[in-house]
Amino acid sequence: MSRRSLLNLIVPAALLLGCAPALAESRLALVIGQSAYRSVPALPNPANDAKAMSQLLSDSGFEVLSASDLSQSQIREKVSEFAGKLAEKGPDTVALVFYAGHGLQIDGENYLVPIDVDPKREADIPLQAVRLNDILNALASVPNKMRILLLDACRNNPFPELNKTAGHGFALVDTKVGSPGTFLSFSTSPGAEAEDGNGADSPYTTALLAAAKEPGSIEETFKRVRLSVNKATDGRQTPWDSSSLTDDFRFVAGAAAPGPKLAGVKRTVDEWKRELQGKRVEAANELIVADGTDEAYEAFAALYASTPRGLQARDWLDRHRRMVAWNNAVIINTAAGYRAFLAQYPDSDLSATARKLEERLRNRPNIAPVAAVSIAPTNVALAAPTCPCNAQPSPIKKVDLPPKNVDLPPKKRVDRDPPKRSSGPPRRVVDEEEVVVVRRPPPREVYEPSGPPIGIGIGIGIGGGYGGRYGGEGGQIRRGGY
């Protein structure tokens, strides 16, 4: 075989071996579309969104479990089934959940809404809906490579009574806190409401279907989704995502798509002003939407304050800061924390919830002093056993003894008082300077007779009877027991 022919065989083999880790990755997806709501008007697009996403994910190498129009119990069953399949596939599996339908926040918690929900008050939602955190916990309970949640669920609150007091949209979720290896995408920014759209699919799903087919990392994919949805809705809706991924993920294998990349270093407001200065409004808007940081929006809002896009940027910035403050208050979950939020945002859509939670926690007993008392006895000194064998030995001091040939003066004898009579057993009197050393008694030796047993007398035996090692009847020596 010639050298050229050998190289022609080696190069393809090396390429196949290099692709082995990517091919070994397992992908599993759960797709849910909720359209046929019973107590509120039906949503036309989620069923279409779920069908289109199932096809996209199948083309991207996912094994897809799809379902539509699920009740609360059915959602829980599907999530449980999905977690079971995820466990079977092993730890090198990418888990993806796509949900289209209604979603809302109650008391700082995000909920996905089943089709059979019929709440009369806010307190009914936790009983009838499904917490987003429960789904996150179910996915995190089994080993997997990463978790991706795509939620086209921030549509308007369909329940008029709840809409008077509950906050708009979804509450902020920071995947960097308690959710490592997770990518979470909302169809719009926290605290805002998404549009269902006039076409067959929602603006969010339409943009995702196109962006996922282009090469690039998942961060680059959802940067394109943000730009596309913002442009399609004339700036009214901007998707939002949070990532704690440490591994790369791509819907389609290949090199990254051309275009601006996410900045590796966070820029200051002044740096963004210099970057945006002199640019057309639409071009500058694309840059800040792709970046998605507070600093970019603040610089844009200052430079283009008199334009519609500038007003939208200011609204986005104010809402995002409010949702961050709300997230902090919910995490702290104290009356003082909610009062601080109300002092900063007294008239927001979350004010009613903050007042309710502050009132609920105002009379909660302060358990800090009780905890201090209960913890005090468990400090290191008191927790140690009182057995003297655990005490640290005193350091041994070297003492110089006089030579043996030196005569020492005789010790003076001290007469002690005779012990007083008492009715009880006598007690040993010990001087304060006297050290009593308790030593373990030496082991008893076992003597084996060298000849035949020797009779001593009837009823008397060597060893002393009960408890002795030897003893017996008839004056014989025999082994006994304790």
pLDDT higher than threshold 50 for residue 378: no
Name residue 183's beta-bridge partners: 148, 243
Per-residue pLDDT, 151: 97
Per-residue pLDDT, 410: 57
Distance CA 429, CA 52 (A): 95
pLDDT higher than threshold 80 for residue 284: yes
Per-residue pLDDT, 60: 95
At residue 159 the predicted structure's pLDDT band, cuts being 50, 70 and 90, is confident
pLDDT greater at residue 412 or residue 50: 50
Per-residue pLDDT, 372: 39
| Dihedral class, residue 270 (left if φ above 0, else alpha if ψ from -120 to 50, else beta) | alpha
Number of neighbours of residue 454 by Cβ within 10 angstroms = 10
How do the domains of the chain map onto residue ranges?
25-260
Per-residue pLDDT, 403: 55
pLDDT digits (tens, 9 = 90+) for 190-230: 999 888 777 778 999 999 999 999 999 999 999 999 999 99
Cβ contacts of 403 within 8 Å, gap of 6 or more: none
pLDDT digits (tens, 9 = 90+) for 385-400: 334 344 444 455 554 5
Per-residue pLDDT, 444: 56
Q: Which helix (H) or strand (E) holds 83?
A: helix 72-89
- What is the secondary structure of 307-321 as a DSSP string? SHHHHHHHHHHHHHH
pLDDT greater at residue 157 or residue 255: 157
The 3-class SS string of 322-367 reads HHHHHHHHHHHCCHHHHHHHHHHCCCCCCHHHHHHHHHHHHCCCCC
pLDDT digits (tens, 9 = 90+) for 310-362: 999 999 999 999 999 999 999 999 999 999 999 999 999 999 999 999 998 98
| CATH code, 25-260 | 3.40.50.1460
